[in-house]
Structure 1
Amino acid sequence: MARATSNSVNPHARTGVRIVVAGDKGTGKSSLISTASSDNFRPNVAPVLPPTTLAVDLYPDHVPITIIDTSSRIEDTNKVAEELQRADTVVLTYACDRPETLENLSTFWLPHLRNLEVKVPVIVVGCRLDLRDENAQVSLEQVMSPIMQQFREIETCIECSASRHIQVPEVFYYAQKAVLHPTAPLFDQETQTLKPRCVRALKRIFILCDIDRDGALSDAELNDFQVKCFNAPLQPSEIIGVKKVVQDKLSEGVNERGLTLTGFLFLHALFIEKGRLETTWTVLRKFGYNDEIKLADDLIPSFKYAHDQSVELTNEAIDFLKTTFDAYDADFDGMLRPREIDELFSTAPESPWIGNLYEDAAERNAFQGLSQDAFLSEWALMTLLNPTFSLENLIYIGYAGEPSSAIRVTRKRRTDRKKQHSDRNVLQCFVFGPRNAGKSALLNSFIGRPYTEAYNPTNEDRYAVNVVDIARENRKYLVLKEIPEGGVARLLGKKESLASCDIAVFVHDRSDESSWKASSELLERIASHGEETGFEVPCLIVAAKDDLDSFTSAIQDSIRVSQDMGVEAPIPISVKLGDFNTVFCRIVTAAEHPHLSIPETEAGKTRKQFNKRMGRSLMFVSVGAAVALVGLGAYRIYAARKSSSG
């Protein structure tokens, strides 16, 4: 592989680099900028120069550079801070002939940048090199090493002399390079190794270039890679040379088929260690990566959809995921264990399922493995909650089709109600209920968790997702979203809060009369909110803990409420006894036919009757007006005829 050249194309290139120069008074800031821009040293320059632009063709990347000089006056402190916060990179200067200015870098300037939350590369520049005492034998590396250990944001240290034209252009070359080809995202200076996200990206690139999937880049594949990234082929002798460099240092880096992944990663680490970061960055950017080593935003289609629409995977994407599941099921046990899941996502910046949201959402076996249904359920949930993120990860793990072919936007839920049927494959159910009603137990049972008597209140929204088989050709992914009692007010604070809900379930403890009262009040609130906003949702009532003695009055009242509101009678279940009364199938069926289970409040009924009466009144008024107009027209015709006959 060759060094990146000036004609390499970066589809996500910056339009410019803003360099802010700061440091103690008299350290040579203005002289440095003046000499760099004019290639001529002037002994008398203004204390603070106006913004200075360097010639675009001064450096190979042809990116415009704007240099901002800063004042050393105390009264300009706030203005300097504003400039530093707008910088792409900061050049901090000290005077080689004044040791106290070097000390001020670590005691003031570098801590000051951190306090301002300036998180950009820093170039430390020793100016006035020509004025340093010749008897002072100073090693820049020896002096700067402790400071660089403490302040990892320092990218490069360099000494220069504006009056002697020593290394002045190099200062701003390194400053620009620190922005266009930064070290921090790629390489850990402390361990001297590639960073994990860089390794993952390079692994994905290697796999994409390994056309025959034999685990090595052949000479032809290596040459194709070179042409794609650097617009120039490798000569046979160069290919031999590359492989020899690797093999001499790392025997497993090359085999009889070509350059292995280990060798490919080794080469990039070598480039970076030798200061050739532009080579690795050119490769990454050619494959669509941005400065965070993630796919650039413009490579991931964005989706526009209404609040009452949702996004789900197409059959094409699901088929790809099934094939991928089989490919990574190394022990052929029908499960993906954690290490196999990690390997599957090893070409993504990180595993998307780290964290309780996903780790706690799907059914896992005793070894934390996922079945194919559970694996697909996790994808269904991720696509529902964050379709762009889901699509991005599909691409990371090798989906090669058009990105738009992996995702479909469903029709509006209002349309579902009018058509009296939902064609969604992924249905979202909001689970409401008071504390200790059995909401969490319902979610746990849905994903195969054993029943426990221990009560652990849920304080944040929680998800559970699984496949529900309704009929031979009717499989749905059901997402249960537990809404903690304390989260209801927050949920209903938004008009469209119920728009993403396909069905709501209200759980109460059948043995606790107060539990039913609280649950019925929630049902009333949700139904009222739906009527007021137009985002009505079908509802079911679940009477949990059917294994305990029930309150007769609560049972009678719950049946009466369900009849009055026009929803199905409460469904008794016992998670403890494993008696679910087909509750999950009934949830899906009700969501598929939403018009049958939408509750009506008394206020809603009154409003509907009023609207009907108003409709009839308006109809009568319209008919009366029409009759009057017809009569008036007939009279005018009669009058006209009478006038003409006279």
Structure 2
Amino acid sequence: MAGGGAAAKASSGVRGGVRIVVAGERGTGKSSLIVTVAAETFPTNAPPVLPPTRLPDDMYPDRVPVTIIDTSSSLENRGKLAEELKRADAVVLTYACDQPATLDRLSTFWLPELRRFRVVGCKLDLRDDHNPVSLEQVMSPIMQQFREIETCIECSAFKLIQIPEVFYYAQKAVLHPTAPLFDQEAQTLKPRCVRALKRIFILCDHDRDGALSDAELNDFQVKCFNAPLQPSEIVGVKRVVQEKLPEGVNDRGLTLTGFLFLHALFIEKGRLETTWTVLRKFGYNNDIRLGEDLLPAPIKRAPDQSVELTSEAVEFLKGIFLLFDNDGDGALKPAELEDLFSTAPESPWDEGPCKDAAEKTALGGLSLDGFLSEWALMTLLDPIRSVENLIYIGYAGDPSSAIRVTRRRRLDRKKQQSERTVFQCFVFGPKKAGKSGLLNSFIGRPFSDIYTSTTDERYAVNVVDQPGGTKKTLILREIPEDAVRKLLSTRDYLAACDIAVFVHDSSDEYSWKRATELLVEVASHGEMNSHEVPCLIVAAKDDLDPFPTEIHDSTRVSQDMGIEAPIPLSTKLGDFNNVFRRIVSAAEHPHLSIPETEAGKSRKQYNRLINRSLMFVSGYDKSILVE
């Protein structure tokens, strides 16, 4: 019989009970197995398919409700079987020891369909005693092919052999799965498990001396297991560690190495519940991430509101930066950054939009501004994940105090001033206009003549010093030309944009015309959906000769649409003309630099006429009433 736990469903299973589905070939003892575990007696005449069977809550130590679902293996019931398997927290597959064909079906049909099982053989009482074959011999080839199989166990409903154990192991696979914790082939703890246990160790090391003293070990034991350790037990634990791993204990107590060794030892001995109890006491779920109850609730905000870190969170991050800048050079090198995130499930900036989004030092490190910029970007894009990572690296305040929702941009326009400290700029433009060059220059990357087409959105983030000594964080988001039309089909797409920049190659007339078309498309979308955004035009490649009518055309368009004249710059020469300060200044005053299209002007004129007509009619009605 094969049984397994679906680890991804385990969290829900723990809360509402464990749902175990029994499946397998006809005549392999599915119904007999269920009746025997529930009634503690072998049935003389079990029905073909049983109704759902609930086991007593106190049958197993975890006291989690277990419901067993019987299934039919007939072809006409295959659809219902598939539905039950989808809903299962664990699946128990049966084969009969006296029917070799049912064992073959495990590897040819059932196991390829269901990739996470605990395997057991049924009808042990019918095995051929004259030619016995051990379970290990039978299952070894299958276990080599399907590495997810954790344990093999034989049972007999007729002789009441190991029947409760079958469902105990199936339940255990749900409540205490091996896969997230331990690599069976390498026989080591998995990286994410190590990172979680390291964080727990640091939280329990109250005096921060790198070891758990006897008192700290005892506090840990009480927190996790509600029972203190006797002095002799503490001595025993440390002796076991020291005999196997001398560096696991020092004169101050149990080291991190020793703490990890103990958990690996528990798992190797099948005591996964010990490590899972520890992880869950510190808020981890089956994915070894913090549970939702430890994170802020889903953030309610309008489309034109953003999320920023609070000053409290920023000050915490400044302290963390100094703590992990081991050589005091004012930058976090890759190794220091890896150490900082070694208590998180993984470094959040190794991939995705944050990867290489901030300015790096000559040795590949992050300055304080670069470090805070990465956090600002992660918070803007995924605030809950940002708070989660703050907690992993030691933020102990109320999680909701780490972030704030900004004022609506619609209100900012009315007040003619934005209170935001982080601005997101969408960078539009045709191919080869210089968009990537603008982003690269913003984060200090050298100019390159090699053209690489941008096919996905890309981010660059940095701190911009403003007049008066203030600092603002600017996020440049490069929008590929081919994606613009599809993106603008979403009504609220521009709601996240604080300012839009339109880049064109000042030496190429087609580039200018295409950039103008994009400007009109974006402005029209903003007018239609009440998401008007300030816009600036950037004339890139100013080191090249302009096309003949460039000055005339750009002046005319700027005047017609009511925005600033194009800002010339050359990333090749390093002449940026304060473009990043000007972008931030325009974003800070969201009522200015908003372009008007001809259609928008016509709509405004039409609305003014309607309003005047209504005022006239209203005045006419009043005069009649007076008469």
Q: Give TM-score scaled by structure 1 length.
A: 0.93
Choose which of 564, 576, 581 in structure 1 pairs with 2:577: 581
- Matched residue, 2:44: 43
- Matched residue, 2:235: 240
- For residues 455 and 224 of structure 1, the distance between their equivalents in structure 2, rounded to whole angstroms, comes to 60
Quote how far apart the aligned CAs of 1:11 are. 11
- Matched residue, 1:164: 159
Quote how far apart the aligned CAs of 1:552 are. 3.4
- Matched residue, 2:101: 100
- Matched residue, 1:456: 452
CA contact (8 A) 1:510 1:555 kept: no
- Matched residue, 2:260: 265
Matched, 1:494 2:495: no
Choose which of 310, 314, 325 in structure 2 pairs with 1:314: 310
CA contact (8 A) 2:541 2:569 kept: yes
Choose which of 586, 594, 598 in structure 2 pairs with 1:598: 594
One-letter code aligned to 1:576: K
- For residues 530 and 113 of structure 2, the distance between their equivalents in structure 1, rounded to whole angstroms, comes to 54
Quote how far apart the aligned CAs of 1:15 are. 1.4
Matched, 1:181 2:182: no
Matched, 1:615 2:611: yes
**Any idea what the Cα deviations from partners look like across 1:259-287, whole Å, max 9, x if unmatched?**
11111111111111111111111111111
Distance 1:376 1:215, change over 3 A: same
Give the alignment of 1:362-441 within 5 angstroms. Answer: 362-441=358-437
Choose which of 500, 506, 520 in structure 2 pairs with 1:504: 500
- For residues 197 and 379 of structure 1, the distance between their equivalents in structure 2, rounded to whole angstroms, comes to 22
Quote how far apart the aligned CAs of 1:356 are. 5.1
Quote how far apart the aligned CAs of 1:123 are. 2.2
Quote how far apart the aligned CAs of 1:152 are. 2.3
- For residues 141 and 342 of structure 1, the distance between their equivalents in structure 2, rounded to whole angstroms, comes to 43
Distance 1:99 1:164, change over 3 A: same
- For residues 396 and 239 of structure 1, the distance between their equivalents in structure 2, rounded to whole angstroms, comes to 28
**Any idea what the Cα deviations from partners look like across 1:567-624, whole Å, max 9, x if unmatched?**
1111111111111110000000011011121111122112112222222222222222
SS in 2 for 1:60: coil
**Any idea what the Cα deviations from partners look like across 1:210-269, whole Å, max 9, x if unmatched?**
111111111111111111111111111111111111111111111111111111111111
SS in 2 for 1:498: helix
**Count of matched residue positions in the alignment of Structure 1 and Structure 2:** 616
- Matched residue, 1:287: 282
Quote how far apart the aligned CAs of 1:103 are. 2.7
One-letter code aligned to 1:549: D
CA contact (8 A) 1:70 1:80 kept: yes
Matched, 1:30 2:31: yes
- Matched residue, 2:63: 62
CA contact (8 A) 2:434 2:504 kept: yes
CA contact (8 A) 2:461 2:474 kept: yes
- For residues 586 and 225 of structure 1, the distance between their equivalents in structure 2, rounded to whole angstroms, comes to 55
One-letter code aligned to 2:412: D
SS in 2 for 1:162: coil
SS in 1 for 2:362: coil
Choose which of 327, 330, 334 in structure 1 pairs with 2:326: 330
CA contact (8 A) 1:206 1:261 kept: yes
Distance 1:47 1:279, change over 3 A: same
Of the structure 1 ranges 186-195 and 41-50, higher mean CA displacement relative to structure 2 is found in 41-50
**Any idea what the Cα deviations from partners look like across 1:510-565, whole Å, max 9, x if unmatched?**
11111111111111111111111110000111111111111231221111111111
- For residues 232 and 168 of structure 2, the distance between their equivalents in structure 1, rounded to whole angstroms, comes to 32
Consecutive unaligned residues of structure 2, counting only runs of 5 or more, are 1-10
- Matched residue, 1:296: 291
CA contact (8 A) 1:567 1:598 kept: yes
- For residues 237 and 146 of structure 1, the distance between their equivalents in structure 2, rounded to whole angstroms, comes to 45
One-letter code aligned to 1:353: W
CA contact (8 A) 1:216 1:260 kept: yes
SS in 2 for 1:504: strand
SS in 2 for 1:95: coil
Of the structure 1 ranges 268-277 and 334-343, higher mean CA displacement relative to structure 2 is found in 334-343
SS in 1 for 2:591: helix
Aligned-pair identity in percent equals 72
- Matched residue, 1:150: 145
**Any idea what the Cα deviations from partners look like across 1:465-510, whole Å, max 9, x if unmatched?**
0000012431000000111110110110111111111101111111
CA contact (8 A) 2:154 2:162 kept: yes
One-letter code aligned to 2:261: F
SS in 2 for 1:309: coil
- Matched residue, 1:52: 53
Quote how far apart the aligned CAs of 1:163 are. 1.4
Consecutive unaligned residues of structure 1, counting only runs of 5 or more, are 1-9, 115-120, 632-646
Quote how far apart the aligned CAs of 1:12 are. 9.3
- For residues 627 and 387 of structure 1, the distance between their equivalents in structure 2, rounded to whole angstroms, comes to 58
Give the alignment of 1:98-247 within 5 angstroms. Answer: 98-114=99-115, 121-247=116-242
- For residues 65 and 535 of structure 2, the distance between their equivalents in structure 1, rounded to whole angstroms, comes to 61
CA contact (8 A) 2:178 2:272 kept: yes
Larger radius of gyration: 1
SS in 2 for 1:14: helix
CA contact (8 A) 1:508 1:542 kept: yes
CA contact (8 A) 1:428 1:501 kept: yes
RMSD of aligned residue pairs (Cα, Å): 1.5
- Matched residue, 2:7: none
Of the structure 1 ranges 619-628 and 441-450, higher mean CA displacement relative to structure 2 is found in 619-628
**Any idea what the Cα deviations from partners look like across 1:100-137, whole Å, max 9, x if unmatched?**
322321122212325xxxxxx41222111122122334
- For residues 146 and 332 of structure 1, the distance between their equivalents in structure 2, rounded to whole angstroms, comes to 56
- For residues 508 and 532 of structure 2, the distance between their equivalents in structure 1, rounded to whole angstroms, comes to 28
SS in 1 for 2:537: strand
CA contact (8 A) 2:358 2:460 kept: yes
- For residues 533 and 361 of structure 2, the distance between their equivalents in structure 1, rounded to whole angstroms, comes to 34
- For residues 609 and 283 of structure 2, the distance between their equivalents in structure 1, rounded to whole angstroms, comes to 62
